[in-house]
Chain A
Amino acid sequence: MADKDYSSTDDPTLVRKAQRGNMAAFEELVARHRDKIYARALSMMRNEEEATDLSQEAWVKGWQRLKQFQGEASFGTWMTRIVINLCLDQLRKQKRQRAESIEEIDEESGGVERQMPVVTVNPTAGLERLELRQRIDQALNQLSYEHRTVLVLHQFEEMEYKQIAKTMGCSIGTVMSRLFYARRKLAALLADLKKRDEG
């Protein structure tokens, strides 16, 4: 007997079916939201293999916790929160396991971003989408995980400062400082990349 086609079933219905144990319905939800979940994991981890593994783990956890989902947020948002928490756990574990680079120590002690010259020319103007993505990826790779995470949570997850502070277990002041540093550093890196290409 062929599996039922759920491609035109809406998310809330699929969730209800999956909560009753319907794996085919859950598989459709995975198919619909897998790229978004993966993209969020990739933004945080900056490594395709890790992002894929953590996405997979997030989906398994999603299945296990499905009965707890009450529809207070969209299913996609609920799943991204799961993958974000998994990524944060993994990043904290990695940080404990490796020594910090001098740059990271400088970042955390703060102050550098206050002295950076302001980038007045928009370094991304005129760039094609793909080229812009590549440059931003290069720049994001150079941020520490704390600064990158704050940027991802604010910019992509659209969290307020207060929510980010709660998720990362830090103060609102720390969130603001890290976000400020991340943005200023990103602007400087993008400007450098632009100069290098033009020079």
Chain B
Amino acid sequence: MDYEAQLKLQAHLDGELPEDEAREVTNWLARDREAVALYGELRNTRQALVGHEVGVSLPESREFFWSKIEREIRLLEPPETSVRPAPLLSAWRRWLVPAGAVAAVASALLVGVFGETRIATVETAVDDPAAFTYHDYSSRTTLVWFSYPADEDPVDRTPGTVE
């Protein structure tokens, strides 16, 4: 019996042959004792392995095994980066105070218009948007408006800083 024929017997046992080839092998088994013997051996081996894994138990307790898995999962998970939302008062202050400064400058502008005062410049420091500088050259007045308390470090109010 050649090797290809032996492999065909195995494929027939495993249900891997198309219908017409399976029929051929069935007819062959009906007349060839050597083929029947080999087929029998393959079938016995396959049968011996059925249920081989049934009853195999992991040799660690449920709790211990789980504790290892849980620890590894927690180690691999990225740490939570929580950004606490700014308190409401702080959020209002950030918006309201610069708005108030703008309103103050606008009022000064209006006074200047109606009081016939020429306004030279209104500046805001790029690095500190909460500070306004107002120059009035005619009256030689400079007004600098800080929208945060004097004892607070302006660096702390950089947008995006976690408080």
Q: Which of A8-16, A68-76, A92-100, A184-192 contacts B (4 or more CB under 8 A)?
A: A184-192
Answer yes or no: A155 CB below 8 A from chain B CBs: yes
- Contact yes or no, A34 B11, CB < 8 A: no
Whole-angstrom distance between the alpha carbons of A122 and B46 in the complex? 11
Q: Are A176 and B10 neighbours in the complex by a CB distance under 8 Å?
A: yes
Most buried by A among B6, B42, B53: B53
Contacts of A180 in B (CB 8 A): 6-7, 10
A97 to B20, CA, bound (A): 46
The answer to whether A120 has its CB under 8 Å from any CB of chain B is yes
Q: Which residue from A34, A60, A133 sits with its C-beta under 8 Å from B72? A: A60
Distance, CA A35 to CA B65, complexed state (A): 11
Whether B44 lies near A35 (C-beta < 8 A) is no
Per the 8 Å Cβ criterion, residues 1-51 of B in contact with A are: 3, 6-7, 10-11, 14, 16, 34, 37-38, 40-42, 44-50
In residues 27-53 of chain A, which contact B (Cβ within 8 Å)? 27, 30-31, 34-40, 42-43, 48, 52
Q: Is A55 an interface residue (CB 8 A)?
A: yes
B140 interface hit (Cβ, 8 Å): no
Q: A122-B44, A124-B48 given as contacts; is B70 within 8 A of A23 (CB)?
A: yes
B84: interface (CB < 8 Å)? no
**From A43, A55, A123, A190, contact of B58 by CB (8 A):** A55
Contact B16 A161 (CB under 8 A): yes
Interface size class, chain A: 35 or more
B155 close to A (CB within 8 Å) = no
The CA-CA distance from A34 to B66 in the complex, in Å, is 10
Q: What residues on B are CB-neighbors of A56 within 8 Å?
A: 65, 68-69, 72
In the bound complex, what is the Cα–Cα distance between A129 and B50 (angstroms)? Answer: 11
A contact residues around B88 at 8 Å (CB): none
A143 near B: Cβ within 8 Å? Answer: no
Interface pairs (20), CB distance under 8 Å: A27-B70, A30-B66, A35-B58, A38-B57, A42-B53, A43-B52, A56-B69, A56-B72, A63-B69, A114-B3, A156-B52, A161-B11, A161-B16, A177-B7, A183-B10, A183-B41, A183-B42, A183-B46, A187-B41, A190-B48
Interface residues of A (CB under 8 A from B): 23, 27, 30-31, 34-40, 42-43, 48, 52, 55-56, 59-60, 63-64, 114, 118-120, 122-124, 129, 132-133, 136, 151, 154-156, 160-161, 176-177, 179-180, 183-184, 186-187, 190
Point out residues on B near A: beta carbons under 8 Å.
Answer: 3, 6-7, 10-11, 14, 16, 34, 37-38, 40-42, 44-50, 52-53, 55-60, 62, 65-66, 68-70, 72-73, 76
Question: Which 10 pairs from chain A and chain B are nearest by CB?
Answer: A39-B56, A38-B58, A39-B53, A124-B48, A122-B44, A118-B37, A183-B45, A155-B49, A187-B45, A59-B69
